[in-house]
Structure 1
Amino acid sequence: MTRPTVIHKEPVRRGLLPNWTDYAQERSRFSWDQARLALQGLPGGGLNMGFEAVDRHAAGVLRYHAALRFVSKDAPAIELTYAELARQTNRFANVLQSLGVGKDDRLFLLAGRIPELYVGLLGALKNGTVVTPLFSAFGPEPIATRIQLGAGLVLLTTDTLYRRKVRQLRDQLPSLRHVLLVAEEGGVTHEPDTLDLATLMAAASDSFTTVETTEDDPALLHFTSGTTGTPKGALHVHGAVVAHEASARYALDLHPQDRYWCTADPGWVTGTSYGIIAPLLQGVTTLVDREEFDAERWYSLLVQEHVSVWYTAPTAIRMLMKAGPELAQRYRFPCLRFIASVGEPLNPEAVWWGQEVLGLPIHDNWWQTETGGIMIANTPAFDIKPGSMGRPLPGIDACIVEHLEAEGELPRVRVIEAPNVEGELALQRGWPSMFRGYLNNEARYAKCFAGELYLSGDLARVDEDGYFWFVGRADDVIKSAGHLIGPFEVESVLMEHPAVAEAGVIGKPDPLLGEVVKAFVSLKSGLEPSDALRLDIMAHARRRLGAAVAPKEIAFLAVLPRTRSGKIMRRLLKARELGLPEGDTSTLEAGA
């Protein structure tokens, strides 16, 4: 199917004007100092992430507005207004203080999408306590590793998760002084050497004065996995809340009347920054679904919960595509006006699928754990080029650089001025949500910068209109017969084949060409692998990419290995293909 190269912006969607419509004008007049004025600040002049997300609204016109709405299959929905969320987070902050836990101490969260996790995170932030969310599907070793690295003082988890994943390793966690348990079956938990959270909350006061924190005080510690070695702990500060507020307006177009659904688990940075903090800053009602992915359930929730803004991941979109357009067409989405995606680059086919099946394009955006917030996005302020990351948000200056010969330990780069030249994506440092260090690894942090430029490790190019296009991670790029081949481009073309649900591409060593492109694909439901289908997919790729870039080999896999946050793990595909060590697999999705 021949499609236009752009999807034109719509000035009005579902009767609501977007937050901004003039990209150039907004960028020219933007300043981070001015953006900070959208927040209230603490009475003494400080800034606190929890206060801005909750108490600022609880004392105003939104006090009785629903802040969080928890839904599940077999239980009634639970709603917390901003006023009730303020009371509950105050209680939790008082619980921490009663235990001697204060500013700069570290709380780890290990739970599913239950109210206590959200209350715990926000209450701890109000107490000045640094919070680290963990993904509840982690095994015992990844949990212990992160608590050890982060010197966790307190762990909030459920009695079930504690028994299954923590109790046997408790003696390996000397820093862990307190374990707060949520009884999943109700009542009181009696695990030895733990505390029942419900009992402590019932005894705590619901009045609390937010601890004085500055913009540079630590707030969040997010772990991100490398290709080898232990996970890296990226430290973020309370001042990041300025970027969360601005990006929620610019990239997600959130308005206070929105009903918003971010499908990311709070154990990941997206689920924290844009599943909890950013939407609360905008005063919206956030939907929290406690169940796992189910295509029919998700479509039902979009309708029944009147979702207007939906933020999800490419993996989920591909799974919805795999379920077929017929399922989606059984539903109508009169309230839905904006869809965004993050986690890995969104293939053009998926953007068009949204337009053609859901009636809305899907707006891709780019950021990293280290950037702390959305940096580059497709927004309502300009046309979408399907397959592009979009353009830098106001306050963000991005460029493409090439590496020069290093002087000493630190990298040296040169900015590439010409359009459509591939290089490393870099950002001018200074945005508020930029991470402030890797835990206990100053040398690794220093190597992320070349002067005033943060080096992302992602290869990209920028076109004549200022749109950025993802090529691949620097260590994913394939070098074949002198060609530099970005795996994302090949994967996007493979996904255009009607039989392909997902694709992952690696470089396989070749004595003549250096590397050849090998693709791993999973098929859409109801299709079986065959030699004829393999040849057909290869022919499709050759027609679209040419013989030099198209895969030389294609293997079928039932499931591609990916992280629990949805990113296809190309390095794991390559390690398995070549029989190499798999490195850190703590974030690998179960069964992949």
Structure 2
Amino acid sequence: YFSFFLLVWFLFNLKLLWTLKPPNRTFHGHARLLSSDVYSQYESIRQGKQEIPKYFNFASDVLDKWSEIEKAGKRPSNPAFWWVNGEGEEVKWSFEELGFLSRKVANVLTKECGLQKGDRLILILPRIPEWWLVKVACMRAGIVIIPGTSQLSAKDILYRLQASKAACIVTTDKLAPAVDSVASQCQLLKAKLMVSKGSREGWLNFTELYQNQSADHSCIKTRIQDPMMIFFTSGTTGSPKMTQHSQGSLGFRPLLSERYWLDLTPSQMIWNTADTGWILTSIASFFDPWVFGSCVFMHNLPQTDSEVILNLSHGVHPCLLLVSPLDLSIAFLVFNSLRRYKFLSLKYCISGGEPLNPEVMEQWKSYTGLDIHEVYGQTEMGVICSISKGMKIKPGSMGKAAPLYDVQIVDKNANILPPGQQGEIAIRSKPIRPLGFFSEYLDNPKKTAESERGDFYVTGDRGTMDEEGYFQFIGRDDDIIISSGYRIGPFEVESALIEHPAVVETAVVSSPDPLRGEVVKAFVVLSPTFPSTDLKSLTRDLQDHVKKTTAPYKYPRKVEFVKELPKTVTGKIKRNELRDKEWGRI
């Protein structure tokens, strides 16, 4: 009888424990569990009990706070930053080491380069640790950062230096000759800092200077609306525009956005394979994971290598992998036997930059057992929509609106359209401009005004929203081409092509591609005096010319020679007609 009583008592308590078990963690609930982290300090602001602070600096208010938590032994022994290059070199930093080194770099920028608060610095580095050090150092000194991809040409660099009025440029010995070829035309450029083991005339050596520099540096006090970063974004009818972000829109935003799309903890690690010139790297490999005290993992990846991505995904144990649709597609084309990989620690996969092929999504799920969560965003806004953890995945959908944003589908008069109806994806910007918004298109009030329609900021992307609030991307409402995650304006490609002696006239549009989603296609009218017998050779020549004139990723993968281009009565080229024909819409 006693044994029977114990068994009944055990089963009763087991049932009680089961009924009392905590429900699935929500992002809000997860945040409350981590009572000691930096993120939880802003809970009262998220709940509306406290106003957003007047002053904020990501370096002192987030990174240095994590350093203090680390020193107190209240954070797991997980590095804050972990970098490898695939050739045996490795860098691991704690938050304390990151703080120490970045203070030394801040002194290099202010004492050796003569930079002051508000000065602008162009940062063109590949995925190397110095990119992270310089960014943190700039925040400590109040210097505005302008990231750029390492694929920029001399012409691209000249435009960015002149348009931004940058006082300093930081790059490698690989791009130093390109900078030198245009530096004489940039009178405001005060300092050139080269990340290299060697030396070059007219350049300061980054490594030598920061190693011998003092780490005694006091972080500048910055207002939450002070400029922090400027991103150059492609335009449809002109040169790239400067999109300015503040301390609040990039650094403070993730503190108010719950855990939403990342949902990381201090014991976890994220690996994002995006280029350092993209805003996605700033968000997913800098601000958002470090708000949560997580480890940022990075591989040098001098070129896209799907085998490296797959090997490291099951080798270094990231719990979250963020990768482009192109990288995933190549993985399946080249390494179709993914069953040999075991992704034991990988818990969460995100794809961003462009819509993901549903077939790739299905194959990834069948091989790894993991879903791919898509995100949608822009340089101006960061993450706009996402399929977060716990959300139902709908093939072809990019998820629901991010916290802080009221996302709608609107018509040309800014009227909200009902579910299922196609229109332009827009974010409410009035009466209160959300914190994650960019400040303005710098020195371009006309472009800033054109981005507003009624109470909304219009993205230029077309889409639909269903009854459950899931958004689906349909395409650009203008001529911007999104290829492999890169946003390419036709104007720059056309400007490069027209410089070639064989080209009289040209129009550049998007063209469908099974691997990249869409690619650049150029329609070219040849000069009657130019020999056109070998069009294959001429095509290669035009492609090489564009690669040399502008960033290589912008070159036209398809070229079609035509006798004339469709035009309006006023003589403007009808790109939309060429694009619709290319996509089979007419």
Query: TM-score under structure 2 normalisation?
Result: 0.73
Counterpart-to-counterpart distance in 2, 1:111 and 1:224 = 18
Cα deviation digits, residues 335-380 of structure 1 (max 9, x gap): 0010011111223223222211221111111110011x21210011
The change in CA–CA distance for 1:400 and 1:51 in structure 2 (over 3 A counts) is same
Counterpart-to-counterpart distance in 2, 1:287 and 1:112 = 14
Counterpart-to-counterpart distance in 1, 2:253 and 2:164 = 25
Q: 1:285 aligns with which of 295, 301, 323?
A: 295
The corresponding residue for 1:152 is 166
1:196 is displaced (CA, Å) by 1.4
1:395 is displaced (CA, Å) by 2.0
The corresponding residue for 2:82 is 69
Cα deviation digits, residues 424-480 of structure 1 (max 9, x gap): 011012221211111210111011012331111000111111111111101369xxx
Counterpart-to-counterpart distance in 2, 1:229 and 1:317 = 32
The corresponding residue for 2:230 is 221
**Is the CA contact (8 Å cut-off) linking 2:46 and 2:256 kept in structure 1?**
no
The corresponding residue for 1:20 is 27
- Normalized per residue, the structure richer in helix is 2
The change in CA–CA distance for 1:451 and 1:215 in structure 2 (over 3 A counts) is farther
Counterpart-to-counterpart distance in 2, 1:277 and 1:308 = 18
1:242 is displaced (CA, Å) by 2.4
Counterpart-to-counterpart distance in 2, 1:421 and 1:438 = 30
The one-letter amino acid paired with 1:267 is G
1:274 is displaced (CA, Å) by 1.4
Secondary structure at the counterpart of residue 441 of structure 2: coil
How is 1:337-486 mapped onto 2 (pairs within 5 angstroms)? 337-371=347-381, 373-404=382-413, 413-416=414-417, 418-429=418-429, 430-475=433-478
**Is the CA contact (8 Å cut-off) linking 1:344 and 1:567 kept in structure 2?**
no
The change in CA–CA distance for 1:139 and 1:171 in structure 2 (over 3 A counts) is same
The change in CA–CA distance for 1:107 and 1:376 in structure 2 (over 3 A counts) is same
**Is the CA contact (8 Å cut-off) linking 1:234 and 1:435 kept in structure 2?**
yes
2:170 counterpart of 1:161: no
Secondary structure at the counterpart of residue 55 of structure 1: helix
Counterpart-to-counterpart distance in 2, 1:575 and 1:453 = 38
Counterpart-to-counterpart distance in 1, 2:179 and 2:522 = 40
Counterpart-to-counterpart distance in 2, 1:582 and 1:261 = 42
**Is the CA contact (8 Å cut-off) linking 2:107 and 2:217 kept in structure 1?**
yes
**Is the CA contact (8 Å cut-off) linking 1:65 and 1:82 kept in structure 2?**
no
List gaps (5 residues or longer) in structure 1.
1-14, 24-31, 405-412, 478-493, 510-557, 584-592
Q: 1:208 aligns with which of 217, 220, 229?
A: 217
2:234 counterpart of 1:233: no
1:213 is displaced (CA, Å) by 0.5
**Is the CA contact (8 Å cut-off) linking 1:402 and 1:414 kept in structure 2?**
yes
Counterpart-to-counterpart distance in 1, 2:553 and 2:371 = 22
Secondary structure at the counterpart of residue 174 of structure 1: coil
1:16 is displaced (CA, Å) by 13
The corresponding residue for 1:192 is 201
CA RMSD of aligned residues (A): 3.5
**Is the CA contact (8 Å cut-off) linking 2:121 and 2:167 kept in structure 1?**
yes
The one-letter amino acid paired with 1:450 is R
1:142 is displaced (CA, Å) by 0.9
1:317 is displaced (CA, Å) by 1.4
Q: Size of the alignment, in residue pairs?
A: 468
2:286 counterpart of 1:276: yes
Secondary structure at the counterpart of residue 374 of structure 1: strand
**Is the CA contact (8 Å cut-off) linking 1:262 and 1:275 kept in structure 2?**
yes
1:248 is displaced (CA, Å) by 7.8
The corresponding residue for 1:115 is 129
Counterpart-to-counterpart distance in 1, 2:557 and 2:68 = 52
**Is the CA contact (8 Å cut-off) linking 1:19 and 1:250 kept in structure 2?**
no
Q: Which range moves more in the overlay, 237-246 or 44-53?
A: 44-53
**Is the CA contact (8 Å cut-off) linking 2:138 and 2:145 kept in structure 1?**
yes
Cα deviation digits, residues 411-434 of structure 1 (max 9, x gap): xx2111x21000001101222121
The one-letter amino acid paired with 2:232 is F
**Is the CA contact (8 Å cut-off) linking 2:319 and 2:347 kept in structure 1?**
yes
The change in CA–CA distance for 1:52 and 1:313 in structure 2 (over 3 A counts) is farther
Cα deviation digits, residues 206-259 of structure 1 (max 9, x gap): 132210101100000001111232101100000022223455821122222111
The corresponding residue for 2:329 is 318
Counterpart-to-counterpart distance in 2, 1:577 and 1:379 = 45
Counterpart-to-counterpart distance in 1, 2:368 and 2:398 = 20
1:77 is displaced (CA, Å) by 1.3
The change in CA–CA distance for 1:573 and 1:162 in structure 2 (over 3 A counts) is closer
The change in CA–CA distance for 1:21 and 1:356 in structure 2 (over 3 A counts) is farther
Query: TM-score under structure 1 normalisation?
Result: 0.72
**Is the CA contact (8 Å cut-off) linking 1:322 and 1:501 kept in structure 2?**
no
The percentage of aligned residue pairs carrying the same residue is 28
Counterpart-to-counterpart distance in 2, 1:419 and 1:333 = 38
Counterpart-to-counterpart distance in 2, 1:71 and 1:162 = 24
Q: 1:80 aligns with which of 51, 72, 93?
A: 93
**Is the CA contact (8 Å cut-off) linking 1:64 and 1:82 kept in structure 2?**
no
**Is the CA contact (8 Å cut-off) linking 1:19 and 1:253 kept in structure 2?**
no
The change in CA–CA distance for 1:576 and 1:139 in structure 2 (over 3 A counts) is farther
List gaps (5 residues or longer) in structure 2.
1-21, 31-40, 481-511, 524-542, 566-572, 576-586
The one-letter amino acid paired with 1:74 is E
Counterpart-to-counterpart distance in 2, 1:382 and 1:33 = 25
The change in CA–CA distance for 1:275 and 1:314 in structure 2 (over 3 A counts) is same
Counterpart-to-counterpart distance in 2, 1:195 and 1:104 = 21
1:321 is displaced (CA, Å) by 2.1
Counterpart-to-counterpart distance in 2, 1:139 and 1:508 = 20
**Is the CA contact (8 Å cut-off) linking 2:124 and 2:170 kept in structure 1?**
yes
The corresponding residue for 2:34 is none
Cα deviation digits, residues 47-100 of structure 1 (max 9, x gap): 012334421211213496411111112132111111100011111112222133
Cα deviation digits, residues 183-225 of structure 1 (max 9, x gap): 2xx3xx4322221112321332213221010110000000111
The one-letter amino acid paired with 2:267 is Q
Secondary structure at the counterpart of residue 390 of structure 2: coil
Counterpart-to-counterpart distance in 2, 1:474 and 1:272 = 26
**Is the CA contact (8 Å cut-off) linking 1:376 and 1:392 kept in structure 2?**
yes
2:148 counterpart of 1:134: yes
Q: Which range moves more in the overlay, 111-120 or 246-255?
A: 246-255
